[in-house]
Amino acid sequence: MIAVVGHTDLTEDAHGVVRAALRTRLAQAPAGTGALVRAGRGLPQVYGRAAREAGRPLTVVLPAEGAVPAPLPAADRAAAGELLLLAEQVRLLPYDPAVRDTVVAADERLVGAARTLLAVWDGSPSDGSDATAHLVAYARARSVPVEVVWPAGAARTGRAERAPGVRRGRPAAGPVGRRPGTCGPGGRDLRP
């Protein structure tokens, strides 16, 4: 599987050039290689469309509360719906989409399940709202090959788009404390 992470504040104009670059990269992958993304608007949608155009099977990861999907922030619901239509497989992963630290932990799980990571990244350091640099370092520390995708014409708005109600920190209790490598009851692993 080829997973993607990257900046959430890409400009609308950047979506097209990033999509073309991702489609080209996915088309070069060995036959049967799938694409893996966590549901959301912006880059996840761009990647889902690129995967479909490149003929790659898409796996979309949704947040879970126990064994059922958890509600997504309102701003991500339409995008998640599109990704579900594009997906060949959907997997549940326990995380709270309103808590940044659990979202980053979910992205770390995706990175760990990938054979390659595509990072839509301008090389800037991580900050309080953008964890792209952290995820690149996380992948490299685990020997997951990283390919940085930042084509000419890619640009950021300069502010990470955080959904209303998203907060930093970990929840007091919840499904995030499950044993590593599982995504809920039954122990389904994200690894291909």
- pLDDT per residue, tens digit, the chain (192 aa), is 999 999 989 999 999 999 999 999 999 999 999 999 999 999 999 999 999 999 999 999 999 998 899 999 999 999 999 999 999 999 999 999 999 999 999 999 999 999 999 999 999 998 877 899 999 999 999 999 999 999 999 999 976 544 434 433 433 333 333 233 333 333 334 433
- Please, which residues have CB within 8 angstroms of residue 108's CB and are 6 or more apart in sequence? 135, 138
| Strand ranges, E, within the chain | 2-6, 35-38, 58-65, 68-69, 89-94, 116-120, 146-148
> To 10 degrees, what angle do helices 132-141 and 100-113 make?
40
> How far, in Å, CA of 182 to CA of 133, rounded?
25
* Stated pTM of the model: 0.81
